[in-house]
């Protein structure tokens, strides 16, 4: 409610209003009093200070009439008593007294009618005020109810959106967990496949080394059996017709060795990125296998999963460390074998080149009886 409500419309008076100086002491709008702006502006100070509303004016008039009527009735009653006590009754005086009594009764009747009218008017005004107040209260309460309903609907909508977001977040979390588990399983399978391929490659390298050793042994045996035996230093030698065959055989062996060496180099070059990739995958696996620290993880199944993962990661790390030790030892062995193979291969190539560049000098029988033959025998590696 406002501080200065209007006596007619009960809306707060802020401007263009006047105060009643009567008993009600209420403010009134000039529009509610049906005054024009000119009339409101032309009001003097004395008029403003002495202005009263219609209800206060009517009550003041009734009070004045009551005060004026009461002595007349008392006077008439006293006159009637005196008239009754009188011995000599004059008809004129009795007529005048009767006229006065009739007039006073008529005036009192009129005053009572005016009172009834004013009371009905005030009653109607009060009924209007009550209706206005009820309507205002109803409208105010309806507005408050609408606001509360709107706030309730807004809260329900926000609650629904929050519930939807929470469900989406839970679904996303479950998807992330499932994706993480799949990724870990894929990494583990990939690591197992890489380990198997590396083991196969190591076996292939070992078989190639064994084959190289066998070829070296065959080469040494062929070189040891390739020494020429001379039957007669002056006339002829054995083994001269076999020289071309053995050279072709040695060239075939050298080509085989070079082909094996090329295959070995290709194998090593393909193995190096696999080893590097395996090491990087092991590092990535150690990063990925870090357990998720969930704040409110109270389910026992998640705890068991984390324990199993930690145990698996420890086993995997022990296997990886053992594999790294074996891997580094194997790489050292491969380097040593490569060094030995290169040295032997160089020696064999030098021997073959020496064989190809062998010079034979034979003197004719007309010039001298002796035949001189110079050759370089292949040195054993």
Q: Report how far residue 248's alpha carbon sits from residue 106's, in angstroms, rounded to the nearest whole number.
A: 168
Orientation angle between helical segments 91-224 and 300-356, nearest 10 degrees: 30
Most confident of 45-49, 91-95, 156-160, 218-222: 156-160
Most confident of 55-59, 80-84, 205-209: 205-209
The answer to whether the beta carbons of residues 184 and 281 sit under 8 Å apart is no
Lowest mean pLDDT among 127-131, 296-300, 352-356, 365-369: 365-369
CB burial of residue 5 (10 Å; 0-12, 13-18, 19+)? middle
pLDDT of 218 > 90? The answer is no
Question: Which residues lie across from 5 on neighbouring strands?
Answer: 12
Q: Report how far residue 113's alpha carbon sits from residue 124's, in angstroms, rounded to the nearest whole number.
A: 16
The share of the chain scoring above pLDDT 70, in percent, equals 58
Of 321 and 376, the structure prediction assigns the larger pLDDT to 321
Q: Dump the DSSP string for 44-57.
A: -HHHHHT---HHHH
pLDDT of residue 234: 45
pLDDT of 241 > 50? The answer is no
Q: Report how far residue 335's alpha carbon sits from residue 205's, in angstroms, rounded to the nearest whole number.
A: 12
pLDDT of residue 104: 77
Of 99 and 144, the structure prediction assigns the larger pLDDT to 144
pLDDT of residue 290: 52
The answer to whether the beta carbons of residues 351 and 378 sit under 8 Å apart is yes
Task: Please tell me the CATH code under which domain 1-52 is placed.
Answer: 3.30.40.10
Mean pLDDT within 159-187: 93
pLDDT of residue 44: 80
Residue 62's nearest CA partner among 23, 33, 28, 101 is 23
Mean pLDDT within 248-275: 78
Residue bearing tokens 């200070």: 49
Helix ranges (DSSP H) in the chain: 37-41, 45-49, 54-85, 91-224, 243-288, 300-356
Residue bearing tokens 């040494």: 220
Q: Report how far residue 188's alpha carbon sits from residue 282's, in angstroms, rounded to the nearest whole number.
A: 10
3-state secondary structure of 22: coil
Residues 6+ apart with CB under 8 A from 197: 274
pLDDT of 177 > 90? The answer is yes
pLDDT of residue 88: 55
Measured between alpha carbons, how far is residue 303 from residues 61, 281, 295, 361 in Å?
A: 96, 26, 12, 90
pLDDT of 116 > 80? The answer is yes
Q: Report how far residue 254's alpha carbon sits from residue 359's, in angstroms, rounded to the nearest whole number.
A: 22
Instruction: Give me 375's structure tokens.
Output: 């050759």
Instruction: Give me 26's structure tokens.
Output: 């209420």
In this prediction, residue 334 has a pLDDT band, given cuts at 50, 70 and 90, of low
Q: Report how far residue 202's alpha carbon sits from residue 199's, in angstroms, rounded to the nearest whole number.
A: 5
Q: Report how far residue 72's alpha carbon sits from residue 221's, in angstroms, rounded to the nearest whole number.
A: 172
Q: Would the pTM count as exceeding 0.85?
A: no
The answer to whether the beta carbons of residues 4 and 10 sit under 8 Å apart is no
pLDDT of 163 > 90? The answer is yes
Average pLDDT score, the chain: 70
The answer to whether the beta carbons of residues 16 and 40 sit under 8 Å apart is yes
């Amino acid at each position: 409610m406002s501080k200065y409500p209007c006596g007619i419309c009960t809306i707060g008076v802020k401007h263009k209003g006047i105060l009643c100086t009567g008993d009600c002491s209420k403010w009134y709008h000039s529009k509610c009093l049906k005054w024009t702006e000119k009339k409101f502006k032309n009001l003097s100070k004395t008029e403003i200070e002495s202005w009263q509303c219609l209800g206060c004016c009517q009550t003041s008039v009734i009070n004045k009439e009551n005060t004026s009527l009461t002595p007349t009735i008392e006077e008439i009653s006293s006159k009637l008593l005196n008239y009754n006590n009188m011995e000599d009754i004059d008809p004129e005086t009795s007529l005048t007294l009767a006229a006065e009594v009739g007039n006073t009764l008529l005036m009192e009747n009129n005053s009572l009618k005016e009172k009834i009218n004013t009371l009905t008017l005030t009653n109607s005004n009060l009924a209007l005020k009550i209706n206005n107040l009820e309507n205002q209260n109803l409208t105010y309460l309806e507005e408050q109810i609408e606001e509360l309903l709107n706030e309730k609907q807004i809260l329900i909508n926000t609650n629904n959106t929050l519930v939807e977001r929470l469900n989406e977040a839970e679904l996303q979390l479950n998807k992330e967990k499932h994706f993480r588990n799949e990724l870990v399983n894929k990494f583990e399978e990939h690591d197992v496949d890489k380990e198997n391929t590396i083991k196969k490659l190591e076996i292939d390298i070992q078989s190639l080394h064994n084959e190289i050793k066998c070829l070296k042994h065959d080469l040494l045996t062929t070189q040891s059996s390739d020494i020429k035996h001379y039957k007669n230093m002056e006339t002829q030698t054995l083994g001269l017709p076999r020289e071309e065959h053995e050279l072709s055989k040695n060239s075939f062996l050298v080509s085989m060795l070079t082909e094996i060496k090329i295959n070995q180099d290709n194998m090593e070059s393909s193995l190096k990125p696999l080893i590097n990739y395996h090491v990087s995958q092991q590092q990535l696996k150690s990063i990925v296998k870090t357990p998720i620290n969930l704040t409110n993880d109270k389910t026992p199944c998640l705890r068991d999963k984390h324990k199993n993962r930690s145990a698996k990661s420890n086993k995997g790390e022990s296997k990886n460390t053992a594999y790294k030790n074996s891997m580094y030892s194997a790489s050292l062995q491969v380097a040593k074998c490569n060094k030995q193979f290169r040295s032997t291969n160089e020696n064999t190539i030098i021997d073959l080149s020496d064989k190809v560049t062998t010079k034979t000098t034979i003197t004719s029988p007309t010039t001298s009886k002796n035949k001189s033959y110079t050759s370089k025998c292949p040195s054993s590696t």
